[in-house]
């Protein structure tokens, strides 16, 4: 509970700021609207992974990028599933890692098997703390159930799991608003570049005791 | 999704995309496959596009092929990091060694214009001594080219790209004034300047290939900050909007979505053309000369994949050096957090630079040098850095990301030494074209580590001096790839001569970063383009002497 409150407090660094409010403004060109509109259509259902794999992925994503319950969640698993379906690769593959789709399928099944071996339940059904513990072991390369089939758990964690989940979450406008980024900016761009300089179409940061000012300003960002 | 050139070729039927007008076209000369052209060029990046332009302007017949699409930036480029990964070379590649390289985003391109479509536009001259690194500085290898000659070609490229830069450049011999004024500094650049001044070293506005004033149909930079994901306003002076339109005007043909798989050689050991995949078919373009300009991985890959009974270890490889001496550049960073809002996402990412440690040799326990620049990562790149380099995940990652607008960073481009064990070879697996994929092996040497340690210690002091907090070090990153077909004075110790002509096959040329014997601590694009301009001049001179195959 404490954690959640802390998250919500810090989540209000840019109160009322919504990067999507600029959708019709001069910062969003047609191509940007097209690709972001497609992304906003992505739901939390799998098209590449099986339902079982997808449930495990959603549970993993919740631990890597925990989201506040005060807003609609970013469908991290859905976004990642679409990338795997499209076959978009990074351009390099560490020795020992299969191609992305196969690496994810194998890694998710292996994490699930590790959970069952320790807790008699699948990864999605164990507690948050037990999930974190398994992920830390994965990060340290300590997991070696037969389901890994030679794929080093540490390599999978750093090159696939962490990277892909972080990229998926921060590809979403909700996450852009959360960090106070200006977002798409073509063709308008920016004018005020110096320290503490803010263009009227950028997020206003809440200063202690003056949160209401930031909220009012951010509601006028277009 | 609208057609953005990724699914079927645009440059055909006598026309090519007009990069300056949405939906527009310009006329293009076309050659048939069986008509031998003077030069077929593989790749249209900093090396290939520049050479295609210059050779066409000198009156040679030229066809330049690129595996990637022919974009119109004004209509095809989104302000979106995920979408714009379409600019990268993301085909399957294996990386190994003690320090496996990260490929794809910041060191490759798969588009007409190559990686200049998404490069950070940093346009630096090499320090003169680097062209004689072995003789004058005691490491690496000498270049077979004199720096004074390069100085003139640098000037030509700076003019061709209308580089914006400072009135006086603080390091090296005098150079002409940059054609366009420097861009204003953003807060991230001011942080770099403050740090340099606190530590008593020089800094300057970074010479950049993005417009600070109008140029023809291209507008000045609007500081939107998406430079490394592709400029959607054409301020960036990429090969796509500079050399390529000039090449077309001069009569060159560009073929997009054309992946070259093999160079054909005849019984006399001469190159006779290239096999390339386009529109679901393998085709063959005849040519009197073949130029390989695929950058430091695809160039050796193509030469190795073109092996024959006569050349069993690959083309141009009698020295055994094709694929060897791969040199990345060190790309370590130190990051911190300012009390002030920085919002480094605004403007080109590296508006300020110091080359102090490229030109100062005292106080070093390593060979080579490094520059460092201010940084402006967009959120996905920053999240990936926090996750995979800083090791954050869970609530710590999400919290740290909320400090995004206060982040300040300094990042090096550092010289790594040539080592034969750092190399490109062929893996047994095959790609979507049925071609063997590259295996890229990379390990740092002790000198690389000492340079990195020096830079990290110095940049940490610079951030501490400006009262940045929560300083941390990004230890494992590299950028830019060079050196897998080095130039030199002797056939047994190099792949090409000073004219980028292969020692083994007189009508096979290599013109990209592969030919670098050493890399220096400066971004390579200006040097690649300068060498391409020089190569074009040498080809013209040699052809007048009857020493280029044109029959």
- If we measure between CA atoms, which residue out of A156, A84, A99, A88 comes closest to residue B94? A99
Evaluate if residue B434 carries a pLDDT over 80. yes
Task: Tell me if A90 and B83 make a contact (CB, 8 A cut-off).
Answer: no
- The C-alpha of A161 sits at a distance from chain B's nearest C-alpha, in angstroms, of 10
Evaluate if residue A8 carries a pLDDT over 90. no
pLDDT at B551: 85
* Integer Cα distance of B386 and B393 in angstroms: 8
What is residue B263's DSSP assignment? Answer: E
Evaluate if residue A2 carries a pLDDT over 80. no
Task: Tell me if A181 and B96 make a contact (CB, 8 A cut-off).
Answer: no
Residue of B nearest to A3 (CA): B395
SS3 content of chain A, % helix, strand, coil (to 5): 55, 0, 45
Evaluate if residue B204 carries a pLDDT over 90. yes
Task: Tell me if A29 and B1 make a contact (CB, 8 A cut-off).
Answer: no
Best interface-test mutation with B: which of A25, A134, A170, A191 has the largest number of B CBs within 10 A? A170
Which chain A positions have a beta carbon within 8 Å of B379's beta carbon? 170, 175-176, 179, 181
**What's the whole-number mean pLDDT along residues B442-470?**
98
**What's the whole-number mean pLDDT along residues A194-198?**
98
Q: Is A182 on the interface with B (CB under 8 A)?
A: yes
Is the peptide bond between A166 and the residue preceding it cis, with omega within 30 degrees of 0?
A: no
pLDDT at B181: 98
Which chain A positions have a beta carbon within 8 Å of B103's beta carbon? 90-92
Which chain B positions have a beta carbon within 8 Å of A7's beta carbon? 395, 398-399
- The C-alpha of B56 sits at a distance from chain A's nearest C-alpha, in angstroms, of 33
- If we measure between CA atoms, which residue out of B395, B371, B398 comes closest to residue B383? B398
Best interface-test mutation with A: which of B341, B432, B478 has the largest number of A CBs within 10 A? B341
Q: What is the pLDDT of residues B350-400, one digit of tens each?
A: 999 999 999 999 999 999 999 999 999 999 999 999 999 999 999 999 999
Q: How many other C-beta atoms can be found within 10 angstroms of the C-beta atom of residue B124?
A: 26
A63, A90, A202 member nearest B90 (Cβ): A90
**Cβ under 8 Å to B: A residues 61-80:** 63-67
Helix axes A100-119, A128-139, angle to 10 degrees: 120
CATH number of B15-544: 3.50.50.60
- The C-alpha of A50 sits at a distance from chain B's nearest C-alpha, in angstroms, of 24
Which chain A positions have a beta carbon within 8 Å of B2's beta carbon? 31, 34
Alpha carbon B41 to chain centroid, angstroms: 17
To the nearest whole number, what is the mean pLDDT of chain B? 97
Evaluate if residue B201 carries a pLDDT over 80. yes
Q: Map out the domains of chain B as residue ranges.
A: 15-544
Which chain B positions have a beta carbon within 8 Å of A135's beta carbon? 393
Q: What is the DSSP string of B124-159?
A: -PPPGGGGBIIIIISSS-B-SS-HHHHHHHHHHHHH
Evaluate if residue A5 carries a pLDDT over 70. no
Own/partner pairs, A133-142, CB within 8 angstroms, 24+ separation: A135/A60, A135/A63, A135/A64, A135/A161, A135/B393, A138/A111, A138/A114, A139/B391
Residue of B nearest to A159 (CA): B388
Q: Give the confidence band of B447 by pLDDT, cuts at 50, 70, 90.
A: very high
Q: Report whether B286 contacts B36 (CB < 8 A).
A: yes
Q: Which of A6-20, A53-67, B14-28, B339-353 has the lowest mean pLDDT?
A: A6-20
pLDDT at B2: 56
Q: Give the confidence band of A3 by pLDDT, cuts at 50, 70, 90.
A: very low
pLDDT at A4: 39
Evaluate if residue B38 carries a pLDDT over 50. yes
A30, A182, A191 member nearest B345 (Cβ): A182
* Integer Cα distance of B372 and B356 in angstroms: 9
pLDDT at B476: 84
Q: Is A198 on the interface with B (CB under 8 A)?
A: yes
pLDDT at A12: 84
B320: which strand partners? Answer: none
pLDDT at A37: 98
Residue of B nearest to A194 (CA): B187
Q: Which of A6-15, B103-112, B300-309 has the lowest mean pLDDT?
A: A6-15
Which chain A positions have a beta carbon within 8 Å of B226's beta carbon? 185-186
B76, B104, B340 member nearest A90 (Cβ): B104
Q: What is the pLDDT of residues B516-544, one digit of tens each?
A: 999 999 999 999 999 999 999 999 999 99
Which chain A positions have a beta carbon within 8 Å of B100's beta carbon? 92, 94-95
- Measured in residues, chain A has a length of 222
ipTM of the shown complex:
0.95
Best interface-test mutation with A: which of B328, B342, B405, B475 has the largest number of A CBs within 10 A? B405
To the nearest whole number, what is the mean pLDDT of chain A? 94
Helix axes B48-57, B525-544, angle to 10 degrees: 30
Q: Give the confidence band of A94 by pLDDT, cuts at 50, 70, 90.
A: confident
- If we measure between CA atoms, which residue out of B368, B371, B282, B364 comes closest to residue B65? B282
Evaluate if residue B42 carries a pLDDT over 70. yes
Evaluate if residue B44 carries a pLDDT over 80. yes
A179, A185, A203 member nearest B379 (Cβ): A179
Q: What is the pLDDT of residues B226-239, one digit of tens each?
A: 999 999 999 999 99
What is residue A221's DSSP assignment? Answer: -
Task: Tell me if B222 and A187 make a contact (CB, 8 A cut-off).
Answer: yes
Instruction: Dig out the tokens for B63 from the structure.
Output: 């066809």
Q: Which of A66-80, A88-102, B37-51 has the lowest mean pLDDT?
A: A88-102
Contacts of B59 (CB under 8 A, 6+ apart): none
pLDDT at A95: 83
Which chain A positions have a beta carbon within 8 Å of B79's beta carbon? 27-29, 32, 183-186
Half-sphere exposure of B535 (CA within 13 A, CB side): 33
Q: Is A219 on the interface with B (CB under 8 A)?
A: no
Which chain B positions have a beta carbon within 8 Å of A30's beta carbon? 75
């Amino acid at each position: 509970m404490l954690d959640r409150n802390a998250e919500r407090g810090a989540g209000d660094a840019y109160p009322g700021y919504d990067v999507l409010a600029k959708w019709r403004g001069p910062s969003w060109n047609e191509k940007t609207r097209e690709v972001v509109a497609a992304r906003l259509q992505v739901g939390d259902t799998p098209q590449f992974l099986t339902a079982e794999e997808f449930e495990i992925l959603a549970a993993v994503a919740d631990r890597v990028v925990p989201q506040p319950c005060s807003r609609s969640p970013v469908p991290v698993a859905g976004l990642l599933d679409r990338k795997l379906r499209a076959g978009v690769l990074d351009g390099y593959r560490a020795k020992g890692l299969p191609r992305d789709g196969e690496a994810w399928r194998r890694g998710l099944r292996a994490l699930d098997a590790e959970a069952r071996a320790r807790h008699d339940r699948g990864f999605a059904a164990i507690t948050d703390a037990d999930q974190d513990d398994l992920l830390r072991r994965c990060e340290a390369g300590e997991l070696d159930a037969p389901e890994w089939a030679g794929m080093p758990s540490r390599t999978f964690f750093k090159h696939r799991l962490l990277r892909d989940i972080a990229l998926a979450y921060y590809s979403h406008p909700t996450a852009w608003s959360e960090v106070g980024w200006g977002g798409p900016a073509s063709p308008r761009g920016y004018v005020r570049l110096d320290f503490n300089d803010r263009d009227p179409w950028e997020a206003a940061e809440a200063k202690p005791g003056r949160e209401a000012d930031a909220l009012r300003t951010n509601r006028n960002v277009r | 999704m609208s057609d953005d050139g990724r699914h079927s070729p645009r440059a055909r039927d006598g026309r090519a995309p007009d990069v300056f007008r949405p939906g527009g076209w310009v006329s293009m000369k076309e050659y048939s496959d069986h008509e031998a052209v003077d030069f077929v060029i593989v790749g249209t990046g900093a090396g290939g596009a520049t050479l295609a332009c210059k050779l066409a302007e000198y009156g040679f017949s030229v066809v330049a092929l690129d595996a990637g699409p022919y974009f119109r930036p004004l209509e095809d480029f989104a302000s979106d990091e995920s979408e714009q990964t379409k600019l990268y070379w993301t085909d399957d590649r294996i990386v190994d060694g003690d320090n496996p390289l990260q490929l794809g985003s910041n060191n490759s391109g798969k588009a007409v214009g190559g990686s200049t479509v998404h490069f950070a536009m940093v346009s630096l001259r090499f320090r003169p001594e680097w062209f004689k690194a072995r003789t004058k500085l005691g490491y690496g290898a000498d270049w077979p080219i004199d720096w004074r000659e390069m100085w003139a070609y640098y000037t030509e490229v700076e003019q061709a790209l209308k580089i914006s830069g400072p009135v006086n450049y603080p390091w090296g011999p005098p150079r002409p004034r940059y054609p366009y004024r420097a861009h204003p500094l953003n807060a991230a650049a001011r942080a770099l300047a403050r740090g340099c001044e606190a530590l008593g070293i020089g800094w300057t506005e970074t010479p950049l290939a993005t417009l600070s004033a109008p140029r023809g149909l291209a507008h000045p930079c609007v500081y939107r900050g998406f430079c490394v994901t592709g400029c959607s306003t054409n301020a960036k002076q990429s090969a796509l909007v500079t050399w390529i339109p000039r090449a077309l005007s001069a009569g060159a043909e560009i073929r997009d979505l054309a992946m070259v798989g093999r160079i054909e050689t005849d019984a006399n050991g001469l190159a006779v053309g290239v096999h390339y995949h386009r529109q679901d078919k393998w085709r063959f373009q005849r040519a009197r000369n073949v130029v390989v300009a695929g950058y430091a991985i695809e160039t050796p890959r193509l030469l190795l994949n073109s092996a024959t009974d006569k050349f069993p270890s690959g083309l141009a490889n009698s020295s055994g050096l094709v694929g060897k001496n791969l040199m990345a550049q060190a790309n370590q960073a130190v990051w911190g957090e300012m009390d002030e809002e920085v919002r480094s996402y605004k403007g080109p990412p590296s508006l300020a630079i110091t080359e102090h440690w490229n030109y100062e040799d005292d106080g070093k326990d390593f060979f080579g040098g490094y520059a460092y620049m201010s940084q402006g990562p967009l959120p996905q790149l920053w999240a990936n850095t926090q996750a995979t380099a800083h090791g954050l995940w869970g609530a710590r990652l999400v919290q740290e990301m909320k400090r995004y607008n206060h982040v300040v960073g300094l990042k090096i481009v550092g010289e790594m030494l040539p080592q034969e064990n750092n190399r490109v070879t062929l893996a047994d697996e095959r790609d979507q074209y049925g071609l063997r994929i590259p295996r890229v092996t990379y390990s740092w040497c002790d000198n690389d580590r000492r340079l990195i340690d020096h830079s990290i210690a110095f940049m940490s002091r610079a951030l501490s001096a400006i009262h940045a907090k929560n300083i941390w070090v990004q230890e494992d990153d590299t950028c830019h790839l060079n050196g897998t077909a080095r130039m030199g004075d002797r056939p047994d110790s190099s792949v090409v001569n000073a004219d980028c002509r292969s020692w083994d096959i007189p009508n096979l040329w290599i013109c990209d970063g592969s030919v670098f014997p050493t890399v220096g601590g400066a971004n390579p694009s200006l040097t690649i383009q300068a060498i391409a301009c020089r190569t074009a001049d040498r080809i013209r001179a040699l052809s007048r002497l009857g020493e280029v195959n044109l029959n």
